[in-house]
Amino acid sequence: MLAEGLRKMFDKKAALDGFDLAVPAGTVCGLLGPNGAGKTTAVRILATLLRLDGGRAEVAGHDVAREAPAVRRQVALNGQQSTVDGVLTGRENLVMWGRLYHLSKRQAEVRADELLEQFGLTDAAGKRAKLYSGGMRRRLDLASSFIMRPSVLFLDEPTTGLDPRNRGEVWREVKRVVAEGTTVLLTTQYLDEADQLADQIVVMDTGRVAAQGTPDQLKSKLGGDRIEVVVRDADELPVAAEVLGPDAEVDPDTFRVSVAVADRVAALTRVTSALAARGVEAEDIALRRPTLDDVFLAITGHKAVSEVRA
């Protein structure tokens, strides 16, 4: 999947302003950005649901502007809104989608049974979908995207509203289909989801790429590990800051002092001993790696939020 210099205007405002993207086949790319960054617009253009105003893009080896029908035969889009019909059973939902894709009745039934097995839903095949758990409905929704075995799957916030257990079920299915060769472009408001699933992450802001790399590469830009010390009261903050050194950051509201370190365990031992020698009994002291939340905030100046419209 490739995008070069994509541009899209809405009411004389640029939703995409020179957006570039390269996703190797059989990998997951996490597309992150604050509300209005252009994530959904980019997905819609790559899925041929919107016309681009400038630049070029290829999906599954086909130009999205000149070969849209060929692109559509190779892709599936799974959005935030479920396509599951609660009145129908799980199997009936998949057979219905197969028929909508112009499979014969027999072909649709065979494909439905294959997908029910692949997504761990065989035992619930005859149950009405409205009786499924949230995770089961989402897995059925994902299964419907694979009726025609797409080579590229667009996932637009696939686990919004699911509890941690059901999110984990969806993550396992995404990992499985990627292992079988599917390329995935994922937008998500959960940064731990991107950390779990994405081989590479592209952070968008104001319609452009603000940063990109693997999760570890992006985290390393913030200086690696940090030691955090939480003291009992404000009077101990200056002492803790002195122990941690001139680059220490002090948060008086939480009684927290932190600093970046390169020598993890040695630094932790040194700081613990120095605090004890100065008579400071820390409430908490720990090593912490930067998270994608830290990266996101540092790059965009915003907390990650769900994008309703880009």
Mean of per-residue pLDDT scores for the chain: 89
Report the run of H or E that residue 155 belongs to, with start and end: strand 152-156
* Range ranked top by mean pLDDT from 34-48, 59-73, 177-191, 241-255: 59-73
How many CB atoms neighbour CB 228 within 10 A?
A: 18
- pLDDT per position as a tens digit, 37-67: 899 999 999 999 999 999 999 999 999 999 9
- Residue 310: which pLDDT band, with cuts at 50, 70 and 90? very low
**pLDDT on residue 163:** 83
- Residue 309: which pLDDT band, with cuts at 50, 70 and 90? very low
Percentage, residues of the chain above pLDDT 70: 96
**pLDDT on residue 302:** 60
> Does residue 4 carry a pLDDT above 80?
yes
**pLDDT on residue 308:** 37
> Does residue 283 carry a pLDDT above 80?
yes
**pLDDT on residue 223:** 66
**Domains of the chain, start order:** 2-84+132-213 (3.40.50.300), 225-288 (3.30.70.100)
State how far the alpha carbon of 70 is from the alpha carbons of 42, 47, 100, 281, in Å. Answer: 19, 11, 18, 66
**pLDDT on residue 84:** 92
Token look-up 């985290």 returns 219
State how far the alpha carbon of 160 is from the alpha carbons of 82, 170, 222, 274, in Å. Answer: 11, 11, 28, 45
Between 198 and 161, the higher pLDDT residue: 198
Mean pLDDT of 29-38: 89
SS3 letters for 10-59?
ECCEEEEEEEEEECCCCCEEEEECCCCCCHHHHHHHHCCCCCCCEEEEEE
Mean pLDDT of 81-88: 89
Mean pLDDT of 289-298: 79
The gap from C-alpha 29 to its chain's centroid, in whole angstroms, comes to 8
